[in-house]
Amino acid sequence: MQYYDKSRMEDNSFNTIETPWNVTNGLLVVELISGNRQMGDSTFEPYDPAAVNVAGDADDPTGPTYASFTDLRDDNAISEGTILTLRVDRAGNVTEDGTLASHGVTAGHYEELTQHTVATPFWEFMNSSGPVWNGSTNVNAQLFQSAYYATGLPVTEGYWANVKVGGDYKDVLMQCFERRCLTYTPGNPAGFIVEAGNVGQHYWTWRYGSDSVPT
């Protein structure tokens, strides 16, 4: 395995797992939210969930951390098509904020395996197409062979939060999946409206106590 800012890549080829699952992103979000650190193939040790900010500036004192989502994993799924107006704070409290309806963001795809609904901007991103190098030239193709390849399955619903980004506070929609937490920031430039958080960096900080991920 090798750490990156946004992931930990793992080589599963020794298990003769079929492509594309022979190389995957680690289930880092599951460990960060639950506090259960994986020490071996089937060995876990309990720790406190990570008090590390999911999104935005690392020094934001009020934005949600991974620990904020610990008790939200069992929240009921939001019905497909519902406009998302739930806000989460650092303590994990969820409140209704009708002003968020102005963004027009809806719940997009219900995933029966984890009983959570993927927010529409994230579902569209996970199923998006674009230029892909096929070994000799760029072709237009799906960016991910499976919608869940890079993110894993959803483990929470999508919630809005007020997050400090680049020193400024703004409303950001965030949703955590097994392998990544995704954010949607209205007003961001095209190509950066949906982003993946720096979960590799966050995990390294939580587990090893350093802000820098070795290369």
Asked whether the CA dihedral 108, 6, 47, 148 is positive or negative, the reply is positive
Residue type (1 letter), 56: G
Amino acid making up residue 61: P
pLDDT of residue 159: 98
pTM over 0.85: yes
* Amino acid letter, 63: G
**Mind listing the pLDDT tens digit for each residue in 10-61?**
887 777 667 677 788 889 999 999 999 988 878 889 999 999 999 999 999 9
Which pLDDT value is given to residue 17? 67
Query: In this structure, what token pair is assigned to residue 208?
Result: 């090893």
Angle at CA of residue 10, ends 51 and 69, nearest 5°: 25
Q: What are phi and psi of 179, to 5 degrees?
A: -110, -20
65 sits in the region (left: phi over 0; alpha: psi -120 to 50; else beta) called beta
Cα–Cα dist 75/196, whole Å: 22
Segments making up each domain of the chain, as ranges? 2-208
Nearest alpha carbon to residue 29 among 210, 202, 209: 202
Tokens of 85: 């107006």
When pLDDT is averaged across residues 122-147 and rounded to a whole number, the result is: 90
Identify which has the larger pLDDT, 214 or 86.
86
- pLDDT for 139-152, tens place per residue? 998 888 889 999 99
Asked whether residue 133 carries a pLDDT value surpassing 70, the answer given is: yes
pLDDT in tens, 165-177: 999 999 999 999 9
pLDDT band at residue 214 using 50, 70 and 90 as cut-offs: low
**What's 6's DSSP letter?**
T
